Structure 1
Amino acid sequence: MTRFTPFYVNEKNAAALLDMGVAEFRAHVATGHLPRGHEIVPGVLRWDAEALRMIGRGAAVEGMGGVDW
């Protein structure tokens, strides 16, 4: 069986990528701390899995590329 990495994930899997429960994930999305999902077809929301991985790695911070951590 071929293993694949999804480009977009549903809310449950988006929360799991960040080791959160769905309610906690929803709260962070609602406050703007995490990105909103994209409606890829009418009524179907999905989150960009790579963007969530970047957030998890701390690589999504803009304007800090010159900082030597």
Structure 2
Amino acid sequence: MAAHALKQPLFADQRTAAQLLCMKPAEFKRLVDEGVLPGPCRFERWDVEELSSIMRGGKQKISYGSVKW
């Protein structure tokens, strides 16, 4: 495999995560704020594998740190 080949990132910032889902950043943020999509992990990044799994109908990982009591 060529060293310059594009690879899917492991984690993505909000803009990149929105692009991966073919969404505008504002739409992506709204879905995150509504709890439809998961919030970011450490360092304000989204787990690309988790987003991919959710979009394919898989379950969302539960992060109790993001639960608002």
Match of 1:31 among 25, 31, 34: 34
| 1:5 alignment counterpart | 8
* Structure 1 moving runs of 4+ over 4 Å: none
Unaligned runs of 5+ in 1: 62-69
- Aligned to 2:7, the other structure's residue is in SS state coil
Unaligned runs of 5+ in 2: 61-69
Specify which structure has the bigger relative contact order, considering alpha-carbon pairs within 8 angstroms and separated by 6 or more residues: 1
Q: Normalized against structure 2, the TM-score is what?
A: 0.71
Q: Which has the higher helix share?
A: 2
- Aligned to 2:29, the other structure's residue is in SS state helix
Match of 1:20 among 11, 20, 23: 23
Q: Which amino acid aligns with 2:51?
A: L
Separation of aligned partners in 1, 2:42 and 2:17: 14
Q: CA deviation at 1:12?
A: 0.7
- Aligned to 2:45, the other structure's residue is in SS state strand
- The structure with more radius of gyration: 1
Q: Normalized against structure 1, the TM-score is what?
A: 0.71
Q: RMSD in angstroms over aligned alpha carbons?
A: 1.8
Between the two proteins, what is the percent identity of the paired residues?
Answer: 37
Give the number of equivalent residue pairs: 58
